[in-house]
Structure 1
Amino acid sequence: MDNIADKIQRLAKTLGKSAPSDPEYINYQELRKGYEKKANADIQKIQKDTKRARVLTIQGQADLNPKWRFDNLIADSDDVNEALDVANSFIGAHNDPAWRNSSSHMMIFYGDYGRGKSHIAGAIAHELIEQYEITVLYRQLSTLLDMRLFSYDFSATDGASEQYRKIQNELLNVDLLVLDEVCVNETMLKKNAQSWLGNILRQRLVNHKNCILITNHDLASLETAVGRYCFESIKEYDSYRVRFSGPSRREVIVPEAVSSTPIKQQGYTPNQVK
């Protein structure tokens, strides 16, 4: 079949005129390919920008420390390297939709302060948001319990009840719930708090929602602290447990041997590794 250039050549010959001979002349097929290429590039840019906007929205709702990233994690001990192996396996498993819909998974990071537990949990959350647009909620358990307590003040005008109901809905429905400082400075939660937390975990379990629990307790004392009902909920998950026992990454404020030499003030630099 003649292309458009051939038809123009034949028409020009019939009319006794010269056909276009511009060496930069582009036939229809080439022109169409050019337009399609540009359109595809525009669509890809729109998709990329739209995804970035969605990711930023999820990150904002998650309330994560933006500096909790794998690339600035100090991996100088066996416990951190073990946690990284678990984290990479957990993140990579999200490529399999069957895995994501088959059961509920929980990581328990436990150990002393400053060992990197929260940092790794936050890094996992950031990766899941950016790679898979997984919804995340990061909260300290004590903050949630305080909000729960304040929500019972029905005479208050600060909207605490409405805010708590919104958080309660998010606790049940986000894809990944990160609970930090679980039972910090608590030997045992009150019975009603134990039941509330256990119910949250059981409902998430039924709906195949994943969790990360971060605590300073060891596993035995954690069972005592959250109560048997709540701990039985935890045991129902496919769980991955990492004990953090390496060195603290936090700066020493009061040195072990106090020098008589005045300490030169360097300015405040917040510690980003928890």
Structure 2
Amino acid sequence: MQSIKDRLEQLARSLGKTTQVSQVTDYEALRKEFEAKANRDVRQMQLEAKKKRIEQIHGRSDLNPKWTFTNLIEDSQDVREAVSIAKSFIAAHDDPSWRNSGSHMMLFYGDYGRGKSHIAGSIAHELIDRYEISVLYRQLSSLLEMRYFSYDYSAKDDIGQKFRDITQELMTVDLLILDEVCVNEMQLKKSAQSWLGTLLRQRYSQNKNCILITNHDLAGLEQAVGPYCFESIREYDTYKVRFSGPSRRKTVQDELQPNTTKPGYVPNQVR
């Protein structure tokens, strides 16, 4: 014998209608289907937005796009040790407590052409791609030159405002890479020492990280930047990395030799 429920469903089918139970079942299936599609759309939009943000950070960083770990040849012990420290520094960003514990500085020092800038750039590219960390790469000499010309109040190119804008960015960017610190300088002028020391202290107070790259040894760097600025460096949780391997740059004699290889980027080369 058919139950009342079965009879109602049979009657509904003969009339081309569905019962309330079927309607509920269909509604639940449709709701899940629409939710799944909406979630897929949201994830896709998030990925596209993240990609756009990362592209914008790369664009503002002024990094050489060829400074990556992929292009790096680990052909000496100092480079291998530097890469190991660099990757540990990158991995530490997974820990929120480490990121919030204070300001961290990597100090790369050694002679020309050892790969210091390349590894610093590789760190920056990885941090941008993984964590969307804002990065700014600058040579200290160009900043000091801009600072000097910013005092020319008769200039018509708004150099003063440009320098104020870049100074604000220097203080607020998540990772600041200063290259060629005191290059060809035995000692910075007192005003430059004070400016750089103040910049580093302000970044330290805001838990902002830095990478300093210099051709001086540590004693020479201390003399070049002066006691006030060097004390600013000491305040950071500092990772000192010495580069002592062979230079990757071509010599003049190499340049004069006939080139039998295809032109291209030379890994570890600082341009």
Q: Which TM bucket (shorter chain)?
A: 0.7 to 0.9
Matched positions, count: 260
Aligned partner of 1:263 in structure 2 is 258
1:22-171 to 2 correspondences below 5 Å:
27-171=26-170
Q: Quick one: structure 1 residues 11 and 255, their matched pair in 2 at CA, closer, same or farther if it must change by over 3 Å?
A: closer
Aligned partner of 1:23 in structure 2 is none
**Amino acid corresponding to residue 258 of structure 2 in structure 1:** I
Q: Deviations over 1:37-74 (max 9, x none)?
A: 11111100100010111111111111111111111111
Cα pair 1:176 1:211 within 8 Å, conserved: yes
Distance in 1 separating the partners of 2:195 and 2:82: 29
Q: Quick one: structure 1 residues 148 and 27, their matched pair in 2 at CA, closer, same or farther if it must change by over 3 Å?
A: same
Aligned partner of 1:13 in structure 2 is 11
Give the gaps of 5 or more residues in structure 2: 19-24
Q: Deviations over 1:144-201 (max 9, x none)?
A: 0000011001111111111100110011111111000001111111111111111111
Q: Quick one: structure 1 residues 28 and 198, their matched pair in 2 at CA, closer, same or farther if it must change by over 3 Å?
A: same
Distance in 1 separating the partners of 2:162 and 2:144: 13
TM-fit CA distance, 1:104: 0.8
Distance in 2 separating the partners of 1:63 and 1:77: 28
Distance in 1 separating the partners of 2:232 and 2:242: 20
Distance in 2 separating the partners of 1:228 and 1:192: 13
Cα pair 1:84 1:120 within 8 Å, conserved: yes
Q: Deviations over 1:95-134 (max 9, x none)?
A: 1222112111110111111111001101111111111111
Distance in 2 separating the partners of 1:248 and 1:198: 30
Q: Give identity over the alignment, percent.
A: 60
Q: Quick one: structure 1 residues 264 and 83, their matched pair in 2 at CA, closer, same or farther if it must change by over 3 Å?
A: closer
* Secondary structure of 1:107's aligned partner: strand
Distance in 2 separating the partners of 1:15 and 1:143: 82
Distance in 2 separating the partners of 1:109 and 1:15: 79
Distance in 2 separating the partners of 1:88 and 1:266: 32
Distance in 1 separating the partners of 2:44 and 2:252: 48
Aligned partner of 2:249 in structure 1 is 250
Q: Deviations over 1:209-268 (max 9, x none)?
A: 110000111111111111111111111111001111112222334149x8xxx7358786
* Secondary structure of 1:172's aligned partner: helix
Q: CA RMSD in A?
A: 2.5
**Amino acid corresponding to residue 165 of structure 1 in structure 2:** R
Give the gaps of 5 or more residues in structure 1: 1-6, 21-25
Distance in 1 separating the partners of 2:12 and 2:235: 85
Aligned partner of 1:214 in structure 2 is 213
* Secondary structure of 1:13's aligned partner: helix
> Normalising by the residue count of structure 2, what TM-score does the alignment of the two structures yield?
0.88
* Secondary structure of 1:199's aligned partner: helix
Cα pair 1:12 1:18 within 8 Å, conserved: no
* Secondary structure of 2:245's aligned partner: coil
Higher normalized helix content (fraction of residues): 2
Aligned partner of 1:4 in structure 2 is none
**Amino acid corresponding to residue 187 of structure 1 in structure 2:** M
**Amino acid corresponding to residue 242 of structure 1 in structure 2:** V
**Amino acid corresponding to residue 235 of structure 1 in structure 2:** R
* Secondary structure of 2:100's aligned partner: helix
